[in-house]
Structure 1
């Protein structure tokens, strides 16, 4: 019956994840409805708690025309990149990473998307912030640097902000801003703070419980047949 026990535990685990995701969805909705934070408030919060979903309004200026490309992203079935640019709020504070949006990738990886970065001028940006969980199996940056159209492009594999800060040589805020409107760009902005919804987990739980029920029924049927043979042996 160990298999039955494992199947039931897997179903219960999925229900627990569904409950967590439902609570997280409620939290995100509350954060979206709240007033936008200022930059210092965001930094203070991020020191102790996750900040995904909070809204932020900030006056910035582009640090440079360097484009950052997060590799192996998928949007509407298309493989590509999430493009970013760094901005600063003040000389004494960490730089902020701003998402420019999703751009499709060429089949030839040597050909990078032609993007025009935000010019080095002041911007007031408003949007939502997010943090991506680091994959413990693959958290390295694996950065590659290219020169393209008179500006530098860095392609990297994981949104590891600590490692990226070392790469660019300046402290970065521990969250990324996805602005409602990006100056000079109209790229799509995927928003998936919860990769698997509570409903998905509930569906998986039902599958595990169904498998457990089928397995239990099969074991009971085999047990019944075995008992029947032992109590009514076949005689010749």
Structure 2
């Protein structure tokens, strides 16, 4: 009799604990979906707004993500050095996001400008054959973005190369603070993705929301379904145990 009561009590504890965890995971996914919907609305508002000048952009509150704002600048490449963000994927192809650093004025932070996506060679020793924008003045209009910091890996892990007398830097994480220390000059807190890059036609991936609200809602449904199935299974086991209840 004691064994049966012990088994029933253990079954109840396991059922309540696991069921609660599954439901909480579903509710968490629903909450993330609501957050993503709000963020998407914010991005749409920023995309529809007029372009900001560089000074106004720098004055924005950096405690909130700056992704999605549109800016218009007159800028000049600091040099012809190409910077390559490693381990990027676009349309199923592995490669790099290429950047150049631009100066807007003598006193303001430099601006990282995305040139676009370029496929990687299977031999990592072979870097993309990219021609940087020459040192001249350009009118650039586009949207800015910030990458979320990975708490497990936010180091640059810089590799420097010289290809045909041209310097290239390959790095692993878009950590603008660390990158500024590397190049020895302050950088703006976000990267500009121009609508049009002069003399270049590289694709420009845009994924400000890696996981959509619909995806989170789908995951929530999966967790709730698992909770329902688990509860049904445990109730069936309880019913079976009652049928064979010892005297």
TM-score by length of 2: 0.92
User: Is the deviation greater in 185-194 or in 145-154?
Assistant: 145-154
Rounded to whole Å, the distance in 2 between the matches of 1:86 and 1:32 is 24
**1:179 aligns to 2:194 (yes or no):** yes
Partner residue, 1:120: 135
**1:135 aligns to 2:150 (yes or no):** yes
Residues 63-86 of structure 1 deviation map (CA, whole Å, 9 limit, x = unaligned)? 100000000000000000000000
* Aligned residue runs from structure 1 range 73-222, under 5 A: 73-222=88-237
SS in 1 for 2:190: strand
Partner residue, 2:19: 4
Rounded to whole Å, the distance in 1 between the matches of 2:165 and 2:185 is 22
Rounded to whole Å, the distance in 2 between the matches of 1:52 and 1:112 is 29
Q: Superposition RMSD on alpha carbons, in Å?
A: 1.0
Question: Are the aligned partners of 1:59 and 1:89 in contact in 2 as well (CA < 8 Å)?
Answer: yes
Rounded to whole Å, the distance in 2 between the matches of 1:114 and 1:222 is 65
How many correspondences in the alignment? 232
**1:49 aligns to 2:49 (yes or no):** no
SS in 1 for 2:35: helix
Question: Are the aligned partners of 1:87 and 1:97 in contact in 2 as well (CA < 8 Å)?
Answer: yes
- Displacement of 1:46 in angstroms is 4.6
SS in 1 for 2:31: helix
Partner residue, 2:48: 33
Partner residue, 2:31: 16
Residues 122-177 of structure 1 deviation map (CA, whole Å, 9 limit, x = unaligned)? 00000000000110100000000000122110000000001000111111000000
Partner residue, 1:62: 77
Rounded to whole Å, the distance in 1 between the matches of 2:23 and 2:156 is 38
Rounded to whole Å, the distance in 2 between the matches of 1:127 and 1:54 is 8
- Displacement of 1:48 in angstroms is 3.7
TM-score by length of 1: 0.97
1:46/1:132 Cα in 2 relative to 1: closer, same or farther (>3 Å)? farther
SS in 1 for 2:32: helix
SS in 1 for 2:24: helix
Rounded to whole Å, the distance in 2 between the matches of 1:132 and 1:30 is 20
Partner residue, 2:12: none
Alignment gaps of 5+ in structure 2? 1-15
The runs of 4+ residues in structure 1 deviating greater than 2 Å are 46-49
